[in-house]
Amino acid sequence: MDDPVIDRCKTGIPVLDDRILRGGIPRGTMVLVTGSSGVGKTTLSCQFLFNGATMFNENGLLFTLTESVSQMKRFMNQFSFYDEEAVEKKKVQFFDMRAIYKQMGMDKDQYTVSDMNSLLRIIDEIVTNYNIKRLVIDSITAMIFRMPDKEKIRDFLYRLGNIIFEHNAVALLTAEEASGTRFYTEQGIEFICDGIIFLTEREVGNTLLRSLQVVKLRGTAHNRSEHEMVITQSGIALTERTF
Ligand SMILES: Nc1ncnc2c1ncn2[C@@H]1O[C@H](COP(=O)(O)OP(=O)(O)OP(=O)(O)O)[C@@H](O)[C@H]1O
Ligand SMILES: [Mg+2]
């Protein structure tokens, strides 16, 4: 059942919105989408943006750091949620972060505090100018990679969270899972994010099944079960099955 008290942002993915998130992700929050390589982090994030544009008339933007914009569009174009018109009308935009870094003189090995301030200012400007309600950073791991130390990374993430909060937007930050530890990311990004969506694969019988689990989401009750997830030509779908 939807919780009417909190303003929520629907992913447009059945079962995830209604069964797991009680109506959607609370607005003004930053959610980590984590898991190992190939589990569907980019697909889930893009589907969230396209559904936002086509079903809820909300503007979305993705900063890519690991794939080129043309490659990402080519891959995502294979899914039925991809909507060329949304791209043409700038309802969904893809920005190559590496091009932005180049323009800003930030194509260097390590960032200074001033670089990090400029980066936050640019993000804030873009979110404001395009009235972005759904933001994806793919991946946050790559974005913080050149920041000098853990404290500065934390400070950066707090301030990024403030930008999202002030715009009443939702940000999905993708990250590679930390292997062999109790943590979801190497850098402890999960402690600063308001929510964690964990994607993984598990062996059931002799097949490998995908799954999605909302591990935390501040400000709302939610289902914490690991739900079976499939990726098809329609994109990501969840089944009622839990593990
Ligand atoms: N058209 C399709 N139909 C079904 N499954 C697909 C299709 N296209 C891609 N996939 C599956 O989706 C996976 C890719 O998902 P995605 O790129 O979203 O993962 P990711 O978690 O972002 O990976 P990475 O960490 O490498 O960035 C592929 O490994 C593939 O198994
Ligand atoms: Mg990816």
Q: Look up the pTM and report it.
A: 0.96
Element (H, E) at 74: helix 69-76
Domains and CATH numbers, the chain: 8-242 (3.40.50.300)
Residue 1 pLDDT: 59
Ligand 1 atom with the smallest distance to the CA of 39 is 21
State if residue 23 touches ligand 1 by the CB under 6 angstroms criterion.
no
Residue 183 pLDDT: 77
**DSSP, residue by residue, 172-240:** EEEEEPPTTSSSSSTT-GGGTSSEEEEEEEEEETTEEEEEEEEEEETTS----S-EEEEEETTEEEEEE
Q: Candidates 43, 62, 199, 211: which one to mutate for ligand 1, based on the most atoms within 8 Å of Cβ?
A: 43
Average pLDDT value for the chain: 94
State if residue 142 touches ligand 1 by the CB under 6 angstroms criterion.
no
State if residue 147 touches ligand 1 by the CB under 6 angstroms criterion.
no
Q: Candidates 39, 72, 73: which one to mutate for ligand 1, based on the most atoms within 8 Å of Cβ?
A: 39
Residue 6 pLDDT: 84
* Contact between 36 and 208 (Cβ < 8 Å): no
CA–centroid distance, residue 199 to ligand 2 (Å) = 12
Does a cis peptide bond (omega within 30 degrees of 0) precede residue 80? no
- Identify the segments of the chain with pLDDT beneath 70: 1-4, 180
CA–centroid distance, residue 138 to ligand 2 (Å) = 7
Residue 178 pLDDT: 77
